[in-house]
A and B are shown apart, each in its own frame.
Chain A
Amino acid sequence: MNSFPTQSALDPAGQGAESIAQLFYWMSGGAALIWCLVIGLAVYAIRRPQAHHYRLTRLLVIGGGAVVPTVVLTCLLSYGLSMMPELQRPAPEGSLTVHVHGVRWWWRVEYLGPSGQPIATANEIRLPVDQPIEFKLFSEDVIHSFWIPSLGGKVDMIPGRTTRLKLHPTRVGQFRGVCAEYCGGAHAQMNFDVVVSDAATFERWLADQSAPASEPETDLAVAGKAVFSQRGCGACHAIRGTAADGLVGPDLTHLGSRLRLGASLLDNTRQNLRRWITQTHQVKPKVEMPAFEALPEDELTALVAYLEQLK
């Protein structure tokens, strides 16, 4: 069975999420209190047999309906909107910047390497802890929405526009991100994994990711590389360092290093990789990738062996 990390906004691990969760607890407490008072008053009004004085009730209308809400809302707005500048302020110049493109129904992720060259990956975002990270968000087709509940709020990805978001993780761990804007067919299965680690681990990972794909070493994997090329996988997928340079689907250069397959749908195991290639549409209905149901068993085994070792 698959196991997924948290995607709860109430289990915050980022600055934005923390302050918003706190705001939520305050507001819930206040809301509960107000509800009890108003409903208590209404029940009292119905149960009490004798009539009340008209003038007193006018005070109630003015006080309860207009004055108290105005005061409460003013306080709430001052508290809530005071968070806005920090939430909206871009990460300082020189911060790590990640480009994320929403594509039906997966995520294209690009880091910038030390020399400014883009490092492509997909459906997985790794971040260093305790520093602000700037996200630039794009869409390649319909509107999506980029959301990592544990780290902070969401921002839409809109065709023709570039939107942005700053996140600031405060704790290491694994989290899950989702597409929050309905984007058709497989919207429900457009997710991604987020790994927050210490800066050194992150840098190591990024260096690994910037390298071209490792050459296959076993015979099986070498055969798999040939299958990948003969079956035309490279028309859609890129594997840096090989002839495969398709841009339609996710970059697979370091597929073996990823936690999950199919936009955070299946754990990255040999068995799941086989299922993904052959029963694509049972695993993820509506997905754009064609299923390779008729792939001969030996080719499949080789292909999986090749993909697995793309660490």
Chain B
Amino acid sequence: MSAPEIRQDPPLDDRARRLLKAWETPRGWRYWSAVNNSEVGLWYTIAAFTFFLFGGVLALVMRIQLAFPENDFLTADQYNQIFTMHGSVMMFLFAVPILEAISIMLLPEMMGARDLPFPRLSAYGFWCFVIGGVFVCGSLFFGVGPQGGWFMYPPMTTEYQSGVGVDIWLLGLSFIEVASIAAAVELIVGVLKCRPPGMRLNLIPLYAWYILVVAVMILFAFPPLIAGDMLMELERALDWPFFDASRGGDPLLWQHLFWIFGHPEVYIVFLPSIALVAMIVPTFARTPMVGYGWIVLAAVGTGFLSFGLWVHHMFTTGLPGITIGIFSAASEAVAIPTGVQIFCFIATLLVGRVTRSVCLLFVLAGLATFIIGGLTGVMVALAPFDYQAHDTYFIVGHLHYVLVGGTIFPIVAGFYYFYPLVRGKQLSERLGTIAFWLMLIGFNVSFFPMHLTGLIGMPRRIYTYPAGMGFETLNLVSSIGAFILAAGFVVFLWDVLRPKSKQDLAPRNVWNAGTLEWLAEVPDKPWGVRSIPIVKSRYPLWDQENFVRDVDEGNFYLSDAEETLRETLVTTTVDATPIQCLRVPGPTFLTMFAALFTGGVFIFSTYHWWWAAGVSGVLSLVTILTWLWTGTALIPEKDRKDVGLGLELPTYVSGPRAVGWWAMFITMLGDMTAFVSLVFGYFFYWTIHEDFPPQDARGPGILWPLVSMACVLFAWAATLLAKRFNRQDSAPRFYGSIAAGATAAVVGALALVGACYFHQMDPTRHVYPAIVCALVLWTVVHLAVGVTMHLYCLARRAASRMTSRYDADIVNVTLYWHFMAVTSLITSLVISLFPLVS
């Protein structure tokens, strides 16, 4: 793979040359230090797609095993590992990452931005993803893969599977989930703050709306799973009995945490693909999308509803009828926003004059397939039917109709649509049509019979079945279909990979689309857009006169890079008024190293190599601090700068106007969600036990937790003061308050640990001390991070990298401490005072 070739003619003027220089992609081995969204996005896409192929091969292997009754192609162990990995790979290593990959690659282009606000964070996320993904997949080749299913229900995974498989799954995927959250933060800030001037919220491309919704969903859906992973790993590594019923734990807590993540997850992978459809349909209908507002409302509505449906994965766990009825109804309700979106697409096709293309074929295939999945979804959401269908092949059929129809087909459509934009060449309509028919026929032949297979009684996740029960023919047909489907992907893959050097370059804006990403030149230039335009329409390329010419001639913003620094515009959230000229960092290997070391912590922990994990942790901390020290909140050489069209913007802002502040705020919302999930755990145990805390249990007492709380609140106040003293340029008082804050935080942490220690709480004895210790652990780790931040600010000020004017570091740290104070408050009050009232 290499960067697209740069065409040198026509000769560039000085302004353009400087701009090109600033955005130049590194060459040779340094290519891998690139952080620009087009490179990272491309790698990300290739990596996610490779994992998809791997997951697909696993599926074929399973279909070989199931083609015949009592087949011995695979052993039970092999099959159980393979179906676990198939689900985990497709969900965690393909479906979520591919949306982030495509968004990292295309979102800035759709919004006329030069890059996302935190390019190094994207690069870090990408490397984490690759390392974690290879680690998790690799386990399969050593026969130690996880075999608990992608849902990992305890106590099977906590007490009955002693190998490293489950740890690999927990730690490897937690690592990737962290990367996913990083990407979500990046995308949220990208959509909210990095739009072109004039692109008010009601003008942003539908894709960006969808991504905004999805990224927010990731932010609230992944943390409960991370909290669950943490609890399960604590049980596995240290025997804290969160899911062990004999010591007060409950396996159902995991199911709640998993499905609070797992159900939104379905929409997290489905909505971005619908977002691609929402970009493709208007282009081929040659008309703006009908019902823009309806679609946005529907997407937001789906996002909200999806958090209220998780219990429909647990209808058979013996819940009360009223709970089941409510969740049944809520699950049906989600069909309504989905229906609205589908009808908006159809309406757009009706209004416009449709041009045929392979892209549209795949969109139609996606629609036809997805609607079947949606309709069977309505069926299984109805609890009585789910009592029969749950955990059978009916569900396997249903979920693949949803995910292949709702995700894979639209993504293939997206490949055909965006390939010319990314690589400058078109894919073949002829090969595309062949691939289309193979995939559509293969898919339906494979998965449609599964509905019947399930209802005649075949459960999921069985590696073999006896002859003579009516399963043979249906399974053989499914297996044949799977190979036809795979043939379709081979044709598609060949179309993507076949050498195209003799093929003519695609014309610019080959589909004659109306949105900003099609400003890209062919071949593409690393600067994204020649100048950042003023946008007045949802489809500026269609509606704004001389738009492309003005952009190309540099008649808009930032057409120059006088300092050869990478710059893009930050605008206000609602009206997109420019407020800052943001300098984004350039290529570095630091992010790759940081990912390697962070990965080391997780990977070494899997094998209980604590020393190696510790060393890796220190190295990762040092690398990340170096990255922050040298690459963030840099003091600019001038305070304001002319960005063109007579507009002068600050080059450095702090507080709510700064993207860094937003990133911290959003990250902490996610962090808080994980914490709340742990607190939920505490109260969950309280609801299921008649006496919680148990009569004979040792608690942390009242005094020490409250002492800790007082110390942390003092540290919080000291941090606030430090921010003020820094603004007043009062160095001694700043240092004093930071030092006082850090000390108080350390004392606060020690008080919490002491509360557990002095009361001789044994977290392995019962779930009560275990969940208290988990809350304490969470709080103490966060205090340690908070103190590190204190010391960082201290050093920044001492090194004159932070001043009274350029104070983003301390402002962001203060924001962290607001959340820290809330965390400490909740932890201390819950563990000390709640037992008194319960």
The reply to whether B368 and A10 form a contact with Cβ atoms under 8 Å apart is no
Which residues of A sit under 8 angstroms from B161, Cβ to Cβ? 184
Which residues of A sit under 8 angstroms from B341, Cβ to Cβ? 65
Smallest CB gap from B161: residue in A: A184
The reply to whether B384 and A158 form a contact with Cβ atoms under 8 Å apart is no
- Interface positions of B from 454 to 468, Cβ below 8 Å from A: 455-457, 459-468
B612 at the interface (CB under 8 A from A): no
CA A69 to CA B333, docked complex, whole Å: 9
* Given A178-B457, A178-B459, A181-B391, CB of A51 within 8 Å of CB of B343: no
CA A8 to CA B468, docked complex, whole Å: 13
A76 at the interface (CB under 8 A from B): yes
CA A309 to CA B291, docked complex, whole Å: 76
Smallest CB gap from B249: residue in A: A160
CB distance from B482 to the nearest CB of A (A): 19
What is the 8 Å Cβ interface bit string for chain A, positions 60-102, against chain B (1 contact, 0 not)?
A: 1100111011100100110011011101100000000000000
CA A17 to CA B388, docked complex, whole Å: 8
The reply to whether B367 and A156 form a contact with Cβ atoms under 8 Å apart is no
CB distance from A275 to the nearest CB of B (A): 14
Which residues of A sit under 8 angstroms from B290, Cβ to Cβ? 54, 57-58, 61
What is the 8 Å Cβ interface bit string for chain B, positions 361-388, against chain A (1 contact, 0 not)?
A: 0001001100110011011001111111
Smallest CB gap from A84: residue in B: B321
Interface locus among B16-24, B147-155, B406-414: B147-155
| Interface-central residue, B333, B347, B385, by most chain A CB under 10 Å | B347
The reply to whether A76 and B378 form a contact with Cβ atoms under 8 Å apart is yes
What is the 8 Å Cβ interface bit string for chain A, positions 117-157, against chain B (1 contact, 0 not)?
A: 00000000000000000000100011101010100111110
A115 at the interface (CB under 8 A from B): no
The reply to whether B346 and A60 form a contact with Cβ atoms under 8 Å apart is yes
The reply to whether A20 and B371 form a contact with Cβ atoms under 8 Å apart is no
A1 at the interface (CB under 8 A from B): yes
Which residues of A sit under 8 angstroms from B46, Cβ to Cβ? none
Which residues of B sit under 8 angstroms from A31, Cβ to Cβ? 372, 375-376, 378-379
The reply to whether A58 and B291 form a contact with Cβ atoms under 8 Å apart is yes
* Given A61-B343, A73-B336, CB of A153 within 8 Å of CB of B364: no
A183 at the interface (CB under 8 A from B): yes
The reply to whether B346 and A58 form a contact with Cβ atoms under 8 Å apart is no
Q: A8's contact among B149, B349, B360, B456, by CB below 8 Å, is which? A: B456
Which residues of B sit under 8 angstroms from A143, Cβ to Cβ? 153, 155-156, 251
Smallest CB gap from A30: residue in B: B375
Interface locus among A35-43, A203-211, A247-255: A35-43
Which residues of A sit under 8 angstroms from B318, Cβ to Cβ? 137, 155-156, 158, 161, 163-164
The reply to whether B294 and A61 form a contact with Cβ atoms under 8 Å apart is yes
CA A9 to CA B372, docked complex, whole Å: 21
The reply to whether B246 and A160 form a contact with Cβ atoms under 8 Å apart is yes
The reply to whether A20 and B388 form a contact with Cβ atoms under 8 Å apart is yes
What is the 8 Å Cβ interface bit string for chain B, positions 334-356, against chain A (1 contact, 0 not)?
A: 01100111111011111111101
Q: B160's contact among A61, A81, A141, by CB below 8 Å, is which? A: A141
The reply to whether A39 and B339 form a contact with Cβ atoms under 8 Å apart is no
The reply to whether A65 and B385 form a contact with Cβ atoms under 8 Å apart is no
Interface locus among A186-194, A214-222, A229-237: A186-194
Which residues of A sit under 8 angstroms from B353, Cβ to Cβ? 49-51
The reply to whether A73 and B378 form a contact with Cβ atoms under 8 Å apart is yes
Q: How many A residues face the partner with a CB closer than 8 A?
A: 90
Smallest CB gap from A73: residue in B: B332
Q: A80's contact among B349, B385, B391, by CB below 8 Å, is which? A: B385
| Interface-central residue, A4, A46, A64, A179, by most chain B CB under 10 Å | A46
Q: A65's contact among B156, B342, B354, B376, by CB below 8 Å, is which? A: B342
CA A102 to CA B153, docked complex, whole Å: 16
Q: B156's contact among A1, A23, A51, A183, by CB below 8 Å, is which? A: A183
B317 at the interface (CB under 8 A from A): yes
A295 at the interface (CB under 8 A from B): no
Which residues of A sit under 8 angstroms from B155, Cβ to Cβ? 141-143, 159
CB distance from B89 to the nearest CB of A (A): 17
Which residues of B sit under 8 angstroms from A189, Cβ to Cβ? 464
Smallest CB gap from B384: residue in A: A83
* Given A73-B332, A153-B384, CB of A46 within 8 Å of CB of B339: no
B622 at the interface (CB under 8 A from A): no
Which residues of B sit under 8 angstroms from A285, Cβ to Cβ? 75-76
The reply to whether B333 and A180 form a contact with Cβ atoms under 8 Å apart is no
B328 at the interface (CB under 8 A from A): yes
Smallest CB gap from B84: residue in A: A182
CB distance from A217 to the nearest CB of B (A): 35
A185 at the interface (CB under 8 A from B): yes
CB distance from B277 to the nearest CB of A (A): 12
Q: How many B residues face the partner with a CB closer than 8 A?
A: 88
The reply to whether A46 and B364 form a contact with Cβ atoms under 8 Å apart is yes
CA A2 to CA B466, docked complex, whole Å: 8
Q: A35's contact among B77, B351, B375, by CB below 8 Å, is which? A: B375
A199 at the interface (CB under 8 A from B): no
A45 at the interface (CB under 8 A from B): yes
The reply to whether A35 and B457 form a contact with Cβ atoms under 8 Å apart is no
The reply to whether A65 and B349 form a contact with Cβ atoms under 8 Å apart is no
The reply to whether B343 and A65 form a contact with Cβ atoms under 8 Å apart is yes
The reply to whether A7 and B469 form a contact with Cβ atoms under 8 Å apart is yes
Which residues of B sit under 8 angstroms from A80, Cβ to Cβ? 328, 382-385
B186 at the interface (CB under 8 A from A): no
The reply to whether A57 and B347 form a contact with Cβ atoms under 8 Å apart is yes
B390 at the interface (CB under 8 A from A): yes
CA A20 to CA B387, docked complex, whole Å: 9
The reply to whether A1 and B467 form a contact with Cβ atoms under 8 Å apart is yes
Which residues of A sit under 8 angstroms from B156, Cβ to Cβ? 141-143, 182-184
The reply to whether B457 and A176 form a contact with Cβ atoms under 8 Å apart is yes
CA A222 to CA B266, docked complex, whole Å: 62
What is the 8 Å Cβ interface bit string for chain B, positions 434-477, against chain A (1 contact, 0 not)?
A: 00000000000000000000011101111111111110000000
Which residues of A sit under 8 angstroms from B249, Cβ to Cβ? 160
A19 at the interface (CB under 8 A from B): yes
Which residues of A sit under 8 angstroms from B603, Cβ to Cβ? none
CB distance from A94 to the nearest CB of B (A): 22
B325 at the interface (CB under 8 A from A): yes
- Interface positions of A from 262 to 311, Cβ below 8 Å from B: 285-286
| Interface-central residue, A43, A156, A179, by most chain B CB under 10 Å | A156
| Interface-central residue, B329, B332, B368, by most chain A CB under 10 Å | B332
Which residues of A sit under 8 angstroms from B328, Cβ to Cβ? 77, 80-81
Which residues of B sit under 8 angstroms from A10, Cβ to Cβ? 455-456
| Interface-central residue, A51, A159, A163, by most chain B CB under 10 Å | A159
* Given A17-B388, A184-B160, CB of A158 within 8 Å of CB of B375: no
Which residues of B sit under 8 angstroms from A58, Cβ to Cβ? 290-291, 347
- Interface positions of A from 1 to 39, Cβ below 8 Å from B: 1-4, 6-11, 16-17, 19-20, 23-24, 27-28, 31, 34-35, 38-39
Which residues of B sit under 8 angstroms from A24, Cβ to Cβ? 379, 385, 388, 455
| Interface-central residue, A42, A50, A141, by most chain B CB under 10 Å | A42
Which residues of B sit under 8 angstroms from A61, Cβ to Cβ? 290-291, 294, 340, 343-344, 347
Q: B382's contact among A28, A52, A77, by CB below 8 Å, is which? A: A77
CB distance from B42 to the nearest CB of A (A): 32
CB distance from A149 to the nearest CB of B (A): 4
Q: Can you pick out 15 interface pairs between chain A and chain B where the beta carbons lie within 8 Å of each other?
A: A9-B456, A19-B384, A20-B387, A23-B382, A39-B367, A39-B368, A66-B339, A84-B324, A142-B153, A145-B316, A145-B391, A152-B387, A160-B246, A180-B391, A182-B391
List the 4 shortest-distance A-B pairs measured between CB atoms, nearest first: A153-B387, A160-B245, A7-B457, A188-B462
Residues of A within 8 A of B (CB): 1-4, 6-11, 16-17, 19-20, 23-24, 27-28, 31, 34-35, 38-39, 41-43, 45-46, 48-54, 56-58, 60-61, 64-66, 68-70, 73, 76-77, 80-81, 83-85, 87-88, 104, 137, 141-143, 145, 147, 149, 152-156, 158-161, 163-164, 176, 178-189, 285-286
Known: A46-B354, A87-B387. 8 other contacts (CB 8 A): A31-B375, A65-B342, A66-B340, A76-B332, A84-B383, A149-B455, A154-B390, A185-B80
